[in-house]
Amino acid sequence: SRFLQKILSNSPPTQTEIDLILQIITINIEEVICDYYGNYFLQKFIPYCSFKHRISLYSFIKPNFLFIANDICGNHSLQSLIMFQNSKEEENIIKECLENNLETLTVGANSSHVVQKVIKAVKEPNRDYINTYIISNLIDLCLDSHGVCVVKEFIDNTQSECYIKAVVSIFEL
| Whole-number pLDDT of residue 79 | 98
Q: Residue 86 is which amino acid? A: N
* Residue 122 near residue 85 (C-beta atoms within 8 A): yes
Task: Determine the Cα–Cα distance for residues 11 and 36; give it in Å rounded to an integer.
Answer: 23
Q: Count of CB atoms within 10 A of residue 28's CB?
A: 12
Average pLDDT on 61-82 reads: 97
Contact assessment for residue 7 and residue 48, using Cβ atoms and an 8 Å cutoff: no
- Model confidence pLDDT, tens digit, residues 87-111: 999 999 999 999 999 999 999 999 9
Residue 99: CB atoms within 10 A of its CB come to 12
What are the tens digits of pLDDT across the range 122-163? 999 999 999 999 999 999 999 999 999 999 999 999 999 999
- Look up the pTM and report it: 0.93
Q: What is the mean pLDDT of the chain?
A: 95
The string of pLDDT tens digits covering residues 1-51 is 778 788 888 888 999 999 999 999 999 999 999 999 999 999 999 999 999
Q: Is the Cβ–Cβ distance between 110 and 70 less than 8 Å?
A: yes
Q: Which of 42, 93, 98 is nearest to 70 (CA)?
A: 98
